Amino acid sequence: MPEGDSVHKLARRLDRSLLGRTVARSDLRVPSLATRDLAGREVLEHATHGKHLLTRFSGGVTLHSHLLMDGEWSVTRPGRRLPSRLLPDVRVALETTAGTTAWGLRLHQLDLVATAEESRLVGHLGPDPLHDDFDAAEAVRRLRAAPEVPLVGALLDQTRMAGLGNLWANELAFIIGRSPWTPVGEVDVERLVTLAARALRHSALVPGAYQVTTGTGRRGESHWVAGRQRRPCLRCGRVVQMVDEVPNDPANRRTWWCPHCQPGPLRPQR
């Protein structure tokens, strides 16, 4: 699932193919945007806020996309197209005058707004650790505002701090040594925010560090608990546990933890 570091790296990849290029043909395959045309506009910037991608064009227009669980962007070289099996998933096609084409697939949230009005779409989000003006104190304040919320649920709430997805939320809970269901008000929130910001920036900006949480990229050892259910904990050797998402509760996705290394409340009863 895309997280803030994923979207940041995607933006930089799209920069290499689209930045400064002029759109020759656009195709927005969602009913609300089907008649809109971006042809003739120059791609000025790919900005991100958390998991949101903001493609800014000349003339003060922004294309907003959110990848959710399975969305993606792909770029083809001049004269090349996507495999035919992927074409039904295309929601956006942006062909530039240089011949490169960016394809947005399975984009469940797609908007076209005036750049000056982007806040209508992302203004509710919390501070983003990948922004130069990241406000750590504001992230701490927002996390503390509801101290009873479970740790992982609080980290997944994008209105508190933007960019942390399920992988990072579970890994951070392990790193600070607390159960995922510990009320966030019972942890050192300043330290938590500092660790989260440092981890996300390291993952997004350092070559070879993408979503490696243990410090080693060796196969099967890059994460402390995420994806390691029924396998030995890399720290203590006990078995890592996993509980599936709670139906109809987006704040409780699949959760991994080591009961020995992460003392605190046990998983909720169903």
Taking only the tens place, the pLDDT of each residue in 28-39 is 999 999 999 999
Taking only the tens place, the pLDDT of each residue in 90-104 is 999 999 999 999 999
Please say whether the beta carbons of 73 and 104 come within 8 A: yes
Write down the catalytic residue from 56, 178, 201, 253: 253
> In which residue ranges of the chain is CATH 1.10.8.50 found?
136-257
Nearest to 4 by CA among 137, 168, 146: 168
> In which residue ranges of the chain is CATH 3.20.190.10 found?
4-123
Q: Is the CATH number of domain 136-257 3.40.718.10?
A: no
Question: For 146, what's the count of Cα atoms within 13 Å in the CB-facing half-sphere?
Answer: 10
Taking only the tens place, the pLDDT of each residue in 61-89 is 999 999 888 899 999 999 998 999 999 99
Mapping DSSP to helix (H, G, I), strand (E, B) and coil, where does residue 267 land? coil
Q: Quick check: 233 pLDDT over 60?
A: yes
Label residue 206 left, alpha or beta by phi (over 0 means left) and psi (-120 to 50 means alpha).
beta
Lowest mean pLDDT among 19-23, 94-98, 232-236, 252-256: 252-256
Catalytic residue list contains 2: yes
Consecutive H or E run containing 84: none
Contacts of 94 (CB under 8 A, 6+ apart): 18, 23, 25, 26, 38, 43, 101, 102
Q: What is the rounded average pLDDT of the residues 166-171?
A: 96
* 53 backbone dihedrals φ, ψ, rounded to 5°: -110, 130
Write down the catalytic residue from 41, 51, 142, 178: 51
Catalytic residue list contains 3: yes
Catalytic residue list contains 253: yes
Please say whether the beta carbons of 242 and 255 come within 8 A: yes
Q: Which two tokens stand for residue 147?
A: 């101290």
Q: What is the rounded average pLDDT of the residues 242-269?
A: 79
The average confidence (pLDDT) of the chain is 94
Consecutive H or E run containing 49: strand 43-49
**pLDDT at 250 (0 to 100):** 52
Taking only the tens place, the pLDDT of each residue in 196-216 is 999 999 999 999 999 999 999
**pLDDT at 1 (0 to 100):** 63
CATH homologous superfamily, domain 4-123: MutM-like, N-terminal (3.20.190.10)
Write down the catalytic residue from 2, 129, 150, 183: 2
